[in-house]
Each structure stands twice: as structure tokens, then as C-alpha cells.
Chain A
Amino acid sequence: MKYIDEYRDPLLARNLLEEIKRKATRHWTIMEICGGQTHSIIRNGIDQLLPDSIELVHGPGCPVCVTPLESIERALLIAAKKDVIFTSFGDMLRVPGCSKDLFMVRSEGGDVRIVFSPLDALQIARDNPLKEIVFFAVGFETTAPANAMAVYQAAREGIENFSVIVSQVMVPPAMCAILSSPDNRVQGFLAAGHVCAIMGYEEYEPVAREFNVPIVPTGFEPVDLLAGILKTLELLEEGRSEVVNLYRRVVSREGNRFAQETIRKVFEVRDRQWRGIGLIPGSGLGLRPDFSRFDAEKKFNVTHICASESPQCKSGSVLQGILKPDACPAFARECTPEHPLGATMVSSEGACAAYYNYHRNAYSL
């Protein structure tokens, strides 16, 4: 497959690994932001192949994982309503609320459907004029353009039976929050390649300067990840806190202006709760007043939201790179993909799920 196979070339991967071994003179802690990158690393065993001097910690780049519990609970209440067709990316179906998930709502009779694009949800709205279609608009900046377009298009066509629950989060504020934490051990970042494809990497330059960390926009395939790790290592060894783009076939400094424009038209920056982490100012997106009629949380006015997390769940620490999944006492015991205590164990981008699905036998359980 073009633009995939070349970046899974074992020989090229081996080259890069050897260079990493050669260049590392001391221990470095590098964080990969995006859950998709975490999964690729664990799935391909890249962390196993790296020398001990390079420690990878996994970041909060899993929008499913950081969707606030209150949003999940509202989604569950809305999805259970008669005459609502609730649509979502597949990941969200098993994310636990206080006592159930969307999958259970479906088995109790709720019309819950998986879609692969928010435009599919819009089509369902066109096809079902007597129903209310709600879409769970979860994502980082990579998904914001798609979610924005669905709302923009609904407005343009005058589709009134469509609304969204917005759970859009942004990477740079989260990065700053991690770097500002007194427990922070992260010395360099692999920035999320597809987030940067949309937003460019200009906005990381002040972060790199202020916190004195190298930041390297990186892709998702093993060769891309190893090249990103190698560049980050080189910058660390040379004491250079710069942004250097290693995903050049897709990322440019200014990003995708068309996508940014639509995001700006539909969304505005808000403070946002991150599940397991807390409030990060200016880290989320919400619908602008012009589009507030598409806000499902306003439209359905659901109240009585329970918001108590499992006391055992350590998702927050995992998401900030403070705790590795298998160091959590509940990992693979009380907490498994079948009975998750938190979202990180069920999302396709959750670090706990990655460890469980690919790694488990490395830790005698």
C-alpha cells in the first residue's frame, strides 16, 4: 500500500533504531501525544526495541478517553429517548458512564448507530425527517474540520432535526498543562501528525521556547515514529528546544487553512474538563452562538447528571504519562476491556487498551 508500506519497512526501521542507540548518551523521557501513535508503538513493539535510555510515556491524545463523564451521561440519557437516533464513532459505544454505556442503551432499545463520518449522521437526518438525529462530535483538531462541516452543512441546508454533543479538545493547551505540572518528567514531544496536518505547527513554537522542550510533528507508521524519536533525541542531545517537522509529506507550518477557516466559523475556544485530568483553560471548542441551535445538550436539556468516577480508575495519571497502564493495581484484574473502569481501557486510542491487547504476557499476570 503506497504511503504505508514504505513506512513499515523493517530494514529502514532497523537503521533508525541503530542510530537511536548510537546517539543516546543518557536517559531521556519522550511523550507521544496521540493515542493513535501509542497504539502503533505498542502494536509494533517499538517500545520493546528502543534502548533502555529512551523512555516513551503516553500522552492524553485520546479524545474518547478525555470526554468528560458528564458528557457521556448526557449522551446516554439522550440516546435512550424515543424518536432519537443517536450516532457516534464506534469507539464511544463501550466507554463507561456511571453505570452503563451506549452499547447497553442500544440493547435496551435505544436507536444507537455507528457512523464513520459526521456526514453519514447528516444523511440519516435527511432520511429520517420525523426523528431527531444526534451526533457525538468527539475529537481533537484532526476531527474538528469534519464535525464543523457537518454542522455548517446542516445550517446551510436548513436541516433542523440534527444536533451534536461537542467534545472537541485541543493539543497545545494539554501539552502546556502537562509541562506545567510539578510531576512532569517529559523532556521532548512527538507532536500528533494529523493534528498538525490541520493546524500546522506554528502554535508549538512558543511552547517549545517557553518550556524548553523539542517538539517534533511525527506520523503514525513505525518508520515515521522511529524517525520522530531519533530527531527528538538529536535535539535533546544538542540542547535545542525547537520544532522540527518529521512528517513533511502531510504537515506544513501553516497547516490546512480551509479546514481552520471552517473550524473558526463553527466553533469557538472554551475551557474544557478533561476526564481524569480536570479543567484545562482554553483547551476545548464549543459551538458559536450562530450555531447554538445545533447543540444537543441545549436542545434536550438533560439534567440530573451523575458524575462519580470509579475510585480505582487511574486514567488521569495514565493520560498525563505519570503512570504506565500496567502499573495500575486494577490493570487486567478489575479493569479489562470487558469490564472497563475507565475510558482508556476501551478506546481504540487508549493506552490501557493498547497495553492489554498487545502486551499483556510481558507482565506475568
Chain B
Amino acid sequence: MCLAIPGKLFEIFDENGLKMGTVDVNGAKTRACLEYVPDIQIGQYTIIHAGFALKIIDEEEAAESLKLWQELIESGAFQPDDDLSSADSL
């Protein structure tokens, strides 16, 4: 099970001596252990797997990657007005 879901931390608390948090995933909330992201702040995004926050999502890197890929449109590599439904013909 390698799927980890991104969510926003909105609460931190202690339970059984472990640092725990409540993470909001689009309105659904889940508890997660924060021991592996000790520096996480409320409002930051993290990925949750098996009840644990594994990494703080680096928002700058995320923006940078998207920008890079977006530049492919601007570079004129293809026509962005192409009807996506013609993807079948790829």
C-alpha cells in the first residue's frame, strides 16, 4: 500500500506520548502520527500513509514543477486548442 494522500494539518495534540495531528483532506478529517515530521506547522500540507504523516509537502518545489510543465504549452510544442476527445487517435 504505497498510496499516500495529501492533506492540510489543522490540529496538533499528544496521545500516548506520540505527537499526533488531525489532517483535513478536502473536508474529511483523519488522525495521523506526526513523529516523522516534527517540524510541521499547522496549515502546512503533508502526505498521509497508514496513519502517519511521511513528509511535509514542499510548496515551492510543487509550484516550480508545475511551472516547468506549464512552459511546455507556451513553448508551442503543440496546439493547446486540440480537442481532448481526439486523444483516442493518439
Using a CB–CB distance below 8 Å, which chain A residues touch chain B? 1-4, 6, 10-12, 14-19, 21-22, 34-37, 49-51, 61, 63-64, 89, 91, 116-120, 138-140, 142-143, 145-147, 149, 153, 156-157, 192-195, 197-198, 220, 223, 227, 246, 248-251, 256, 258-259, 262, 348-349
Contacts and interface: CB of A to CB of B under 8 A. Distances in A.
Contacts of B84: 10-11, 14
Contact of B2 (A49, A116, A195, A258): A195
Contacts of A49: 87, 90
Given A3-B62, A14-B82, A248-B58, A192 B51 contact: no
Given A4-B6, A248-B64, A194 B49 contact: yes
B55 to A, nearest CB: 5
B77 A2 contact: no
Nearest to A10: B84
Interface string B13-26: 00011100000011
B10 interface: no
A194 B48 CA distance: 10
Question: Interface of chain B, helix or strand or loop or mixed?
Answer: mixed
Contact of B61 (A61, A140, A248): A248
Contacts of A157: 16-17
Contacts of A149: 18, 33, 35, 52
Interface string B36-51: 1110000001010111
B59 to A, nearest CB: 7
A50 to B, nearest CB: 8
Contact of B51 (A17, A118, A193): A118
Contacts of A10: 84
Contacts of B33: 117, 119, 146, 149
Contact of A194 (B8, B54, B80): B54
Question: Interface of chain A, helix or strand or loop or mixed?
Answer: helix
Given A146-B51, A149-B52, 18 more contacts: A2-B8, A2-B45, A14-B84, A15-B70, A16-B69, A16-B72, A50-B90, A89-B1, A117-B33, A138-B1, A143-B1, A146-B49, A146-B50, A146-B52, A149-B18, A248-B61, A248-B65, A249-B65
Given A119-B51, A198-B54, A258 B36 contact: yes
The 6 closest A-B pairs by CB, nearest first: A117-B51, A3-B6, A249-B62, A248-B61, A146-B50, A36-B2
Given A2-B8, A15-B72, A349 B1 contact: yes
B54 A249 contact: no
Nearest to A122: B16
A120 B8 CA distance: 21
Nearest to B2: A36
Contacts of B62: 3, 6, 248-249
Contacts of A143: 1-2, 49-50
Interface string B64-86: 11100110110001101010100
A3 B57 contact: yes
B2 A142 contact: yes
A246 B35 CA distance: 26
Nearest to A50: B90
Contact of B1 (A6, A18, A63): A63
A11 B73 contact: yes
Contacts of A140: 2
A2 B87 CA distance: 26
Nearest to B47: A250
A249 B69 contact: no
B50 A249 contact: no
Contacts of B47: 194, 197, 250
